[in-house]
Structure 1
Amino acid sequence: MLPSIDLATLRLCSVLASATFVVIFLTLWRGRKDQFHNVHWAASLLLYCVALAGLEWINRPDDVLVRSLLVAVLTASNIPLSTGVRLFAGRPLWRWWMAVPPAVTLIGFLLPHMAAMVGIAMPQGSEQSLAAVGLALGMGVFGADIIREAGRAVPDGYGGRIAGIALLAYIPCYIIAIVGEILHFATPSTLAVIALLSDQLLLMLLNVGLLAMPAEAALVAMRESSWRDALTGVYNRAWLAGAHDEYLKPGTWLAHIDIDHFKSINDRFGHAAGDATLAMLADALIVATQDSELDCAGQVVRMGGDEFLIIMPNASSHAAQRLVQTVRTRIGDLGPFNWTVSIGLTEVEASDQTLASAVERADQQLYAAKLAGRDRVAA
């Protein structure tokens, strides 16, 4: 039998910890009203506080319906956790299955009493055990959903995963309580004691994980911003430096592109026209990679000035040639004045130790295209 533990003190600790994070989430929302996911997470903790306080201080032991509703609210308090993560990830908020765990908890708690009304006696402690099944189901369903949706929101982040795992970690606690009831080595309050003891660690992990998600997303956005060219929006050399291993394999084709006589465009039409030409070229390259025959999405990189690089992973020679010819055709239709490009085309070789070696080879082909008279492809 578990030693006697002050259940009221444990509930008070969980309520105070939850209330603290309610204040934190609402404060964050007041500072950024567009981050409404904080309201969802605060609502979850507020529901949890209400349920715990009700179970402790509503002194109506004979009112089965009230107690069953409060236990169901414990499970339902996980719904705003999940909807908050879904809102953060830009996903649909409500799914029908979200209503299942609270319903199972409510029915499980009421079932022994309904059975008694028709003369069927169920084992003592059945209401706690059946309610624990609903609570465990809720932790599993919502924990898995948080992990999945957080992975979509911040693919390389850990905050949402920690929050989801914290919910899943409650499940063994409920299993222990259920087994204890069945094998009669636990007190009637075992379920509450184990859950509240788990709260002292898991509640902290859950909320810290949720708090980490926006910070991780902000870091990803900053990193992505540092990898983007300000004028054209395509990737820059800093991104290319980190893309070494992903594209360093045969089957990756590189097209090094340069605008012919770009200086004369600036001199004749002004730098604004030159910038517009660069932006039009970048757009044409992006559209060409999207409409191409490549097995994987191509990437466009501004190497500097009027030079661009198209990376074509898992491409055939035919697909690479078709793509660069498509680029030349699109550029011929752009206007508002006539301009052309020269292109150097090469494939990454097995002997290449770095992607820079293949880029250098594409640059040499580009130089050959310019020596041959410009407005052409050299491979």
Structure 2
Amino acid sequence: MSAFKPALFEFAVRADAAWDRWSRRVRRRLGVAQPLRILPYRGYGTPERALIRGRVLEDRHVKPSHLRRTLVGSAIASYKRYATREIAGAHVAVRWGGKRWEGTTDEEGFLELWVPPPESVVPGWNPVEVELLSPEPEGVAAVTAPVLVAGARAAFGVISDIDDTVIATGVTNPLKRAWALFLTEHRTRLPFEGVDAFYTALRDGPEGGADNPIFYVSSSPWNLYEHLDEFMALHRIPAGPLLLRDWGLSRHGFAPGGGHSHKLDKIRGVLGTFERLPFILIGDSGQEDAEHYRTIVREFPGRIRCVYIRNVPSRTGRARELSRIEADVRAAGSELVAVDDTVTAARHAAGRGWIRWEEVPRVEAHQREDAEARTVVDGLGREGS
């Protein structure tokens, strides 16, 4: 029985990909097939090896965010994000600093290509050109996929959850989560107070200008990539690779479902890539972040400087569980700090020498500003209800 389920999922994935290919051929003959597009994702790596990522899809022509001004418009845009048609087996070319490689997308249209960067690579963000070779390359514009390369000045890395850590989504409440995922825009959603200033301080490090890499891990689907990227840019949250989850059928099963263990694999991949860097992990108490981070602390001894867990409304008994996890993390050689707000985390980080003390007042100021903005938005929401 244990071997039957993987074989079943493998068959289902192949059948689904075959159906998509047949469907597109039919729609092309009928003249109703949408043109293709390349959606670039933020990659990451070192001067020795780097990951270039993207996805080839049919272009659903989602209306630009500044033109979506109603709940209906947001719902239509959300539907188009989720109702994607992926292009399996697409052949792409990648160009970076005079070097060229080729890659092929998987059954869900994803491209993941590890390459040795050119000698001219510099720390920070590097533009990489991705071009479609087949199928149907005519009229498909090449795109730029940013790749974050950690340099010698990086003192540590940061891995942060997104849901209820950066953005208030109410993920423990199914109705709130559905609203957050399907019916809200990046312009109306708000970050947790002070997150932008705190993460900027972590990126800059204790001396300033360190350019410490920041990664964002979430159980949200890849379909929300552009939504989340726009949100972070709007709220001045430092850019970083987004490590999301493929919703739907895959060789591993059907998602969402089965918990959040996929985050562990993504975190292991990051730590394995940046072998010399220690890391700070940030999450919340509502899901399984603390449990996953405890596992990482144990698997990578000496690599995790601290685990910050934001306290959010949780089930009964969660505080006792966190207390036990805190003791386990301490026994493994790191520390877990549960905080009620961003300023508390910033003060602790400054005390440990990970950010500059002069950044703490800036975090306090941003926390006040964000709290005032949330009060205004909440008041408008009550008036409109």
Bucket of the pairwise TM-score, normalised by the shorter protein:
under 0.3
Higher relative contact order (CA 8 A, sep 6+): 2
Provide TM-score, normalisation by structure 2: 0.23
Larger strand proportion of the pair:
2
Larger helix proportion of the pair:
1
